Amino acid sequence: MTNIISSNLGYPRIGEKREWKRSLERYWNKQISEKELLEQTDAIRLANLKKQKELGVDLIPVGDFSLYDHVLDTSAMFGIIPDRFNYNGGKVDLETYFAIARGRKDAVASEMTKWFNTNYHYIVPELENQKPTLTENRPLAFYKEAKEKLGINGKPVILGPITYLKLSKGYEEKDFSARLQEFIPLYIQLLKELEEAGASWVQIDEPIFGTNVSKEVILEAKQVYEQFKQAAPKLKLILQTYFEHIIHYKEIVEFPVHAIGLDFVFGDSLELIRQYGFPEDKVLAAGVINGRNVWRANLEDKISQLELIQQYSKGNQLIIQPSSSLLHVPVTIKSEVKLDSDVKDGLAFADEKLEEIVLLTKGLHSGKDSIKTERKANKNALDRFSNSTNRNNKQVQDAINKLDASDATRSLPFNERIKKQHQELNLPLLPTTTIGSLPQTTEVRKTRTKWRKGEITTAQYEHFVKDNIEKWIHIQEELGLDVLVHGEFERTDMVEYFGEKLNGFGVTEYGWVQSYGSRCVKPPLIFGDVSLDQSMTVKESVFAQSLTDKPVKGMLTGPVTILNWSFAHDDVSRYTVQNQIALALRKEVESLEENGIKIIQVDEPALREGLPLDENKWKDYLDAAVYAFQLATSSVKDVTQIHTHMCYSEFKNIYDAIDGLDADVISIETSRSHGEIVSTFEENTYAKEIGLGVYDIHSPRVPDKEEIKQNINRALQTIPKEQFWINPDCGLKTRSEAETIGALKAMIQAAKEIREEQLTFQKQ
């Protein structure tokens, strides 16, 4: 009989009610000691492991837990610490670890960017001048902890060397092989120590194999894994891929490892094993439960899929697991007591996904009748969800079917309408603005919570929001900003807020997932056709504009980002849902314009992150993204200026799409990448207006004027001064009032000095 076991690839770090986040932030605010932080996070980690054991998972991951980021953990384990942090070797202390991620007064934080095409951010390793050394064997420590404290013979999880290097910066591509060789002895030492400690299975994550890496890299990687096998022959190594099918399938399945992990949710892994087969001497680890979405699996469909996988793979062992780490989904639906029952029937968070995996393992191993009751309950829940009256809106479906190219085109080209906008807005050279959100203080959050609990009335809450808008309009005027924002004090999150307003959406109470560091977001649920029947932002924007003669931007989140940062049900095409959101936003854009708002910003920070890992699929994705953005924004008058914002993106490969959005002004993060994005604009002629973020808002450090001037002058070497805007690199929601005012003051002073220098030079 085929041996079938269950496995998990990674578990959410944050705790059911974000206990992890609160511990971290109390430590950063010096409210608890390092000892207390470690005690509290140890308890969370052990509770996570215990829960997986109780759920019946056979292979439980250890070492997937982190105090900030698993890529940063790998860097710390190998002593890859940038010189500016004055690291002197040995185990990396917590102060240095967090400084790399968050910066400190004398050292800027390392660059942060998206983990493949997810909304999780990792800290980019900096290899320049670094010689790796094994400072500690983290997977070994976590393996021993699970074994000694909980009796769990865990499966250590390690970020693979190919992926780690490919995600790093500070070396030239021609030096990849040489840099790789520096890490191999360290990985070997790590694996040998795990083998000696009694570990059976080890998961080595190589998601980079789902991208278009060259065949030469794959062949080099195979040699690396041959060294691993020779060094630790008793270990059962799982080469784990996810987020997409692997491009060089035939070569990778021949790697000298015990098991290969494939993603059967994204990409076409089933077709690959059907066409090319799967080695009989290897275990297939089948990722059939979606690790990146929250919808309940159809157990009948999954069993049928697994039966096909068995048939095509012809192996004598199968591992059933999620398609990726469950880091990307909330912890459990058990805490969701306010959701409509028909929506809740369609949901499965991390714990429920593990229950599905354990059930599928039992059903495949012992026959479908062994889970007959559970299958029936699953079908009934899915039927209730599918038949919900909230899911279908024929009017929206008809509107989508009538769309054509003309619905997504501005009436005048940019070079003609920008002249009208300049005349209408009358802004100075190098205009200053912010990205949108302003500090959400403890008072703001507590007041919103009181309102949601019914402890204060809606009128009281709206009065409170107005007071904050008025306060910050005055602060912005006093600072001397040219284009103001209302501050978004009424919004919990840039996507969740719109999820609460749009039809076809639902929101959770505890559906948090980690975005970066302690920053967690609560993606809304898209369960039906999307529409808008009342304005979402007009009241606050109009009130803010009534307080000042300076222009106040209307602030919206774009259709691509709303989709990418939501959990959308997959029974409707993503591009159809995207266009439904765009049509809803179009109504809001038109309403803002009708009410006197002259600048409307429609943010798309997640446009690039949604790119398929396979570059062959990029064009379809980008064409659809551009169309949706234009659909949302193109119906405005020529004098109405459309802005957009993007952050933490490598823009080189999507430059044409950025241009194609046809936004009048785009603002882009560049501060953490230290101006590297500027090179994209050196190689291309960008005609529209642009703001390259001149300081990093994700770090608590307040930059000085000279540092900001340096960043501005670097950009002005490439971008004409007539096109350039000056702004922070992202919204200021997470910063304190003092940090925000101090940094903006330095930014505005830097802008004024450079403006004067430019005007003086022009007169000469």
For residues 612-631, give the mean pLDDT: 94
- Could you report the per-residue pLDDT of 635-658, keeping only the tens digit for each? 999 999 999 998 755 667 788 898
Query: Does the pLDDT at position 571 exceed 50?
Result: yes
Query: What DSSP state is assigned to residue 295?
Result: B
For residues 700-713, give the mean pLDDT: 89
Query: Does the pLDDT at position 670 exceed 70?
Result: no
**Is 490 a known ligand-binding residue?**
no
- Could you report the per-residue pLDDT of 391-448, keeping only the tens digit for each? 888 899 999 999 998 899 999 999 999 999 999 999 999 999 999 999 999 999 999 9
CB of 313 within 8 A of CB of 320?
no
Tokens describing residue 76: 């710390």
For residue 17, name the pLDDT band (cuts at 50, 70, 90): very high
Q: Work out whether strand 553-557 and strand 599-603 pair parallel, antiparallel, or are unpaired.
A: parallel
* Single-letter code of the amino acid located at 376: K
Query: Does the pLDDT at position 621 exceed 90?
Result: yes
**Is 19 a known ligand-binding residue?**
yes
pLDDT at 673: 53
CA distance 409 to 630: 6
Q: Is 688 left (phi over 0), alpha (psi -120 to 50) or beta?
A: beta
- Could you report the per-residue pLDDT of 191-244, keeping only the tens digit for each? 999 999 999 999 999 999 999 999 999 999 999 999 999 999 999 999 999 998
Tokens describing residue 350: 């991390």
For residues 565-594, give the mean pLDDT: 96
Query: Does the pLDDT at position 156 exceed 70?
Result: yes
Residues, the chain: 764
Q: What is the dihedral of CA 329, 334, 335, 340, to 10 degrees?
A: 90
pLDDT at 123: 97
Tokens describing residue 117: 């095409």
CB of 691 within 8 A of CB of 665?
yes
Tokens describing residue 524: 């809304």
For residues 292-307, give the mean pLDDT: 96
- Could you report the per-residue pLDDT of 75-103, keeping only the tens digit for each? 999 999 999 999 999 999 999 999 999 99
**Is 693 a known ligand-binding residue?**
no
- Could you report the per-residue pLDDT of 115-124, keeping only the tens digit for each? 998 989 999 9
For residue 669, name the pLDDT band (cuts at 50, 70, 90): confident
Query: Does the pLDDT at position 563 exceed 50?
Result: yes
For residues 523-540, give the mean pLDDT: 95
Query: Does the pLDDT at position 753 exceed 90?
Result: yes
**Is 296 a known ligand-binding residue?**
no
**Is 569 a known ligand-binding residue?**
no
By CB atoms closer than 10 A (0-12, 13-18, 19+), residue 714 is: middle
Which of 714, 729, 707 has the alpha carbon at shortest distance from 649? 729
For residues 516-528, give the mean pLDDT: 94
CA distance 272 to 615: 18
pLDDT at 1: 39
For residues 693-697, give the mean pLDDT: 82
Q: Name the 3-class secondary structure at 244.
A: coil
CA 195 from chain center: how many Å?
34
CA 649 from chain center: how many Å?
11
Q: Which residues does residue 113 pair with via DSSP β-bridges, in sequence order?
A: 122
DSSP string, 83-149: GGG---SSSPPHHHHHHHHH-BTTBPPPPEEESTTSS-EEEPPB-TT--------HHHHHHHHHHHH
pLDDT at 351: 98
CA distance 405 to 574: 18
* Single-letter code of the amino acid located at 722: E
Q: How far is CA 365 from CA 5, 6, 356, 561, in A?
A: 9, 11, 14, 41
CB of 531 within 8 A of CB of 584?
yes
Helix (H) or strand (E) holding 289: strand 283-289
By CB atoms closer than 10 A (0-12, 13-18, 19+), residue 72 is: buried
CA distance 630 to 604: 12
| Pick from 17-26, 87-96, 306-315, 522-531: least confident | 306-315
CB of 215 within 8 A of CB of 248?
yes
* Domain boundaries, given as residue ranges, for the chain: 3-386, 416-498+531-763
For residues 471-488, give the mean pLDDT: 97
pLDDT at 257: 98
Which of 596, 686, 623 has the alpha carbon at shortest distance from 415? 686
Does this model's pTM top 0.85? yes
**Is 115 a known ligand-binding residue?**
no
Query: Does the pLDDT at position 690 exceed 70?
Result: yes
Instruction: State the fold for domain 3-386.
Output: TIM Barrel (3.20.20)
Neighbours of 214 (CB within 10 A): 10
CA distance 86 to 81: 8
**Is 193 a known ligand-binding residue?**
no
For residue 675, name the pLDDT band (cuts at 50, 70, 90): low
Q: How far is CA 486 from CA 71, 183, 442, 540, 544, in A?
A: 36, 50, 18, 7, 6
Active-site residue numbers? 698
CA distance 694 to 689: 15
Beta strands of 12-138 (E only): which ranges? 61-62, 112-114, 121-123
CA distance 198 to 186: 19
- Could you report the per-residue pLDDT of 364-381, keeping only the tens digit for each? 999 999 999 999 999 999
**Is 730 a known ligand-binding residue?**
yes
CB of 92 within 8 A of CB of 145?
no
CA distance 572 to 564: 14
Neighbours of 518 (CB within 10 A): 21
Q: How far is CA 535 from CA 126, 539, 559, in A?
A: 46, 8, 16
Contacts of 728 (CB under 8 A, 6+ apart): 434, 435, 693, 694, 695, 697, 743, 744, 747
Q: Which residues does residue 339 pair with via DSSP β-bridges, in sequence order?
A: none
For residues 161-173, give the mean pLDDT: 97
pLDDT at 68: 98
Query: Does the pLDDT at position 456 exceed 70?
Result: yes
Tokens describing residue 545: 């504009």
Q: Name the 3-class secondary structure at 701.
A: coil
Mean pLDDT, the chain, rounded, equals: 93
| Pick from 424-433, 595-604, 610-619: least confident | 610-619
3-state DSSP percent of the chain in helix, strand and coil, to 5: 50, 15, 40
Query: Domain 416-498+531-763 maps to which CATH number in 3.40.605.10, 3.40.1280.10, 3.20.20.210, 1.10.3720.10?
Result: 3.20.20.210
Beta strands of 290-373 (E only): which ranges? 317-322
Q: Work out whether strand 112-114 and strand 317-322 pair parallel, antiparallel, or are unpaired.
A: unpaired
**Is 520 a known ligand-binding residue?**
yes
Tokens 């059930």 identify what position? Answer: 359
* Single-letter code of the amino acid located at 1: M
**Is 519 a known ligand-binding residue?**
yes
Query: What DSSP state is assigned to residue 198?
Result: T
CA distance 476 to 328: 37
Contacts of 188 (CB under 8 A, 6+ apart): 227, 228, 231, 232
CA distance 505 to 387: 16
**Is 437 a known ligand-binding residue?**
yes
CA distance 734 to 752: 26
CA distance 261 to 8: 11
Query: Does the pLDDT at position 759 exceed 90?
Result: no
pLDDT at 764: 59
| Pick from 282-291, 577-586, 615-624: least confident | 615-624
pLDDT at 674: 46
pLDDT at 275: 95
**Is 763 a known ligand-binding residue?**
no
CA distance 19 to 15: 5
**Is 357 a known ligand-binding residue?**
no
Q: What is the dihedral of CA 524, 528, 532, 538, to 10 degrees?
A: 0
| Pick from 49-63, 123-137, 418-432, 731-745: least confident | 731-745
Tokens 């925000």 identify what position? Answer: 740
**Is 210 a known ligand-binding residue?**
no
Helix (H) or strand (E) holding 642: strand 641-646
